[in-house]
């Protein structure tokens, strides 16, 4: 779907509610209905989440006359948005970490197999991966039956994909409105704990890390001096939603941290106790300091084990076959098979003539996808051309 179509986004904050009602008590939903839906994907425990961290978002997209049957480009797990495609009309309006509630006023459910991935784990280049088992166990007898039963939110709800398909297929529907519950992942104004002083050339933020039931932490950190810096985050993970590459974690739940083990332990303890933690992070705001942090991460990677980057299944398979072939000296069958018949040889030539490569005369500017969540991007100088070089030389002669 093209992004030029009209899209409207309304965000309701805690201070917008009437009579100081909780943020997620919105018209069209029963009492505690939204809270129940959010708790179905977030493992909240003892400590409550303040209303100032809760948002209710309504996104309306006016359907185009042509191409309205194209997918919306929203990936989710049990209603928890994990990724929004860069070409989706909802890009920037719906964010990873949002909880899908309704479509055009109809509460939606998700007919999927329930596989809880609530364990919190971290992956660092200097430590082995540690895992914590899901503390919420299924009960037995009557208690177990209550836990396994569907929440009250699902009563009367319809499957998300079927609701969207009906709207896109209907000629009467001119727009699609998706409502989501959002948990804030960044807070700009906060009280800095003792022992942390802002560094010139850096910015401070308060990042909120939630323990989603269907996502892993997926965090890789590096020790650079007295700082613990985010090296990379796995896609579709908790850290990918809340943290950015190049950010230094200075404090966890108002406790100053200076080493990898301290950060890991406090994040695990916070998630185990509350289901969410506060992280004070620091990131560079000038190209000079960004390049310096990149250099520090590169140096730290050389001294430790290399990160275990994920590979696609077929890539891993072919790599293993290639390594074995080199060890044993065997020749592998070529991937591209030579045609044996004369008719087979002529067919590729015909196809090649029919599908000629064409270049566009104009370029489409696309913003940086949210999947590239890095604070280390720098502004590159413009590419040199014959015109720019000629003008530069003429100015130097003058």
- The 3-class secondary structure across 365-394, one letter per residue, is CCCCCCCCCECCCCCCCCCCCHHHHHHHHH
To the nearest whole percent, how much of the chain has pLDDT over 90?
A: 35
176 and 65 both lie in a single domain: yes
Looking at residue 229, which CATH number applies to its domain? Answer: 2.30.42.10
pLDDT over 70 (residue 226): yes
Q: CA angle at residue 272 from 267 to 278, to 5 degrees?
A: 40
Q: How many CA atoms lie within 13 A of 195 on its CB side?
A: 11
pLDDT class of 205 with cuts at 50, 70, 90: very high
Residue 221's domain comprises: 186-303
Q: CA angle at residue 118 from 114 to 124, to 5 degrees?
A: 135
61 and 167 both lie in a single domain: yes
Tokens (6 digits) for 8: 């409207």
154 and 35 both lie in a single domain: yes
pLDDT over 80 (residue 229): yes
Q: For position 115, what pLDDT does the model report?
A: 43
pLDDT over 80 (residue 120): no
Q: For position 303, what pLDDT does the model report?
A: 65
Residue 388 lies in a domain: no
d(Cα 167, Cα 397) in Å, to the nearest integer?
Answer: 65
Give me the residues paired with residue 158 across strands: 108
Give me the residues paired with residue 81 across strands: 76
pLDDT over 90 (residue 180): yes
Tokens (6 digits) for 61: 């997209």
271 and 191 both lie in a single domain: yes
pLDDT class of 342 with cuts at 50, 70, 90: low
Place of tokens 């796995």: 234
Q: For position 143, what pLDDT does the model report?
A: 43
287 or 153, which is more confident? 287
pLDDT class of 117 with cuts at 50, 70, 90: very low
Q: For position 269, what pLDDT does the model report?
A: 92
Distances (CA, A) of 264 to 42, 186, 219, 222, 259: 20, 20, 10, 12, 9
168 and 190 both lie in a single domain: no
pLDDT class of 380 with cuts at 50, 70, 90: confident
197 and 263 both lie in a single domain: yes
Tokens (6 digits) for 209: 């890390």
The whole-number average pLDDT for the span 152-181 is 86
Place of tokens 């950060």: 263
* Of 251, 278, 303, the domain-final residue: 303
pLDDT class of 191 with cuts at 50, 70, 90: confident
Q: For position 157, what pLDDT does the model report?
A: 85
Q: How many domains does the chain have?
A: 2
Tokens (6 digits) for 121: 């784990």
87 or 151, which is more confident? 87
User: Which ranges constitute the DSSP H helices of the chain?
Assistant: 33-39, 141-148, 160-169, 238-242, 260-273, 287-303, 313-328, 342-354, 386-397
The whole-number average pLDDT for the span 342-350 is 55
171 and 246 both lie in a single domain: no
Q: What are phi and psi of 344, to 5 degrees?
A: -70, -30
**Structure confidence by residue, pLDDT tens digits, 249-306:** 999 998 999 999 999 999 999 998 999 999 999 999 999 999 999 998 888 877 655 5
Residues 72/1, Cβ–Cβ less than 8 Å: yes
pLDDT class of 228 with cuts at 50, 70, 90: very high
Distances (CA, A) of 248 to 128, 147, 296, 390: 21, 39, 12, 44
Distances (CA, A) of 263 to 51, 175, 252, 257, 293: 26, 46, 7, 6, 19
Residues 213/158, Cβ–Cβ less than 8 Å: no
Distances (CA, A) of 116 to 128, 274, 302: 23, 18, 36
Specify the DSSP class assigned to residue 31. T
pLDDT class of 361 with cuts at 50, 70, 90: low
Q: CA angle at residue 220 from 215 to 221, to 5 degrees?
A: 135
359 or 82, which is more confident? 82
Residue 360 lies in a domain: no
* Cα torsion through 191, 194, 196, 197, rounded to 10: 80
Q: Chain-wide mean pLDDT for the chain?
A: 78
141 or 334, which is more confident? 334
pTM greater than 0.75:
no
Q: For position 210, what pLDDT does the model report?
A: 95
Residue 2 lies in a domain: no
92 and 208 both lie in a single domain: no
178 and 275 both lie in a single domain: no
The whole-number average pLDDT for the span 343-358 is 55
Average the pLDDT over each of 81-90, 150-159, 324-333 and give the range with the smallest value. 150-159
Residue 210 lies in a domain: yes
Residues 376/247, Cβ–Cβ less than 8 Å: no
308 or 391, which is more confident? 391
20 and 161 both lie in a single domain: yes
**Structure confidence by residue, pLDDT tens digits, 18-55:** 555 667 888 888 888 898 899 999 998 876 788 889 99
Q: What SS3 state is found at 126?
A: coil
CA 257, 261, 267, 269 dihedral sign is negative
Q: For position 347, what pLDDT does the model report?
A: 54
Place of tokens 């509610």: 17
Residues 270/257, Cβ–Cβ less than 8 Å: no
pLDDT over 70 (residue 150): no
114 or 328, which is more confident? 328
Residue 309 lies in a domain: no
d(Cα 185, Cα 335) in Å, to the nearest integer?
Answer: 46
């Amino acid at each position: 779907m093209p992004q030029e179509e009209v899209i409207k986004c309304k965000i309701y904050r805690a201070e917008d509610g009437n009579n100081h009602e909780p943020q997620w008590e919105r018209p069209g939903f029963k009492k505690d209905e939204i809270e129940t839906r959010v708790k179905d994907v977030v493992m909240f425990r003892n400590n409550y989440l303040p209303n100032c961290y809760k948002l209710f978002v309504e996104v309306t997209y006016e359907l185009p006359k042509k191409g309205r049957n194209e997918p919306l480009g929203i990936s989710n797990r049990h209603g928890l948005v994990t990724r929004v495609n860069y070409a989706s009309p909802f890009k920037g309006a719906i964010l990873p970490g949002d909880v899908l509630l309704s479509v055009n006023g109809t509460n939606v459910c998700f007919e999927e197999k329930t596989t809880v991935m609530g364990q919190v784990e971290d992956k660092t280049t200097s430590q082995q991966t540690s895992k914590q088992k899901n503390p919420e166990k299924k009960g037995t007898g009557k208690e177990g039956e209550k836990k396994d039963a569907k929440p009250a939110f699902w009563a009367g709800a319809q499957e998300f994909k079927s609701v969207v398909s009906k709207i896109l297929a209907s000629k009467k529907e001119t727009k699609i409105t998706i409502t989501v519950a959002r948990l804030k992942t960044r807070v700009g104004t906060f009280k800095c704990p003792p022992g942390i002083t802002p560094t010139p050339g850096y910015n401070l933020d308060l990042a909120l890390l939630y323990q989603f039931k269907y996502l892993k932490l997926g965090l890789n950190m590096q020790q650079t001096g007295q700082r613990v810096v985010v090296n990379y985050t796995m896609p579709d993970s908790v850290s990918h939603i809340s943290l950015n590459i190049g950010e230094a974690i200075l404090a966890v739940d108002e406790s100053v941290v200076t080493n990898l083990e301290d950060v890991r332990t406090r994040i695990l303890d916070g998630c185990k106790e509350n289901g969410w933690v506060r992280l004070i992070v620091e990131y560079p705001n000038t190209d000079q300091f960004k390049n310096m942090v990149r250099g520090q991460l590169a140096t730290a990677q050389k001294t430790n084990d290399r990160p275990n980057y994920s590979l696609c299944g077929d890539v891993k398979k072919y790599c293993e076959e290639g390594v074995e072939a080199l060890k044993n000296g065997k020749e592998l069958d070529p991937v591209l098979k030579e045609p044996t018949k004369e008719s087979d040889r002529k067919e590729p030539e015909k196809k090649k003539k029919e599908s000629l490569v064409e270049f566009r005369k104009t370029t489409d500017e696309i913003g940086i996808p949210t999947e590239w969540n890095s604070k280390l991007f720098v502004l590159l100088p413009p590419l040199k051309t014959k015109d720019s070089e000629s003008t530069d030389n003429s100015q130097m002669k003058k």
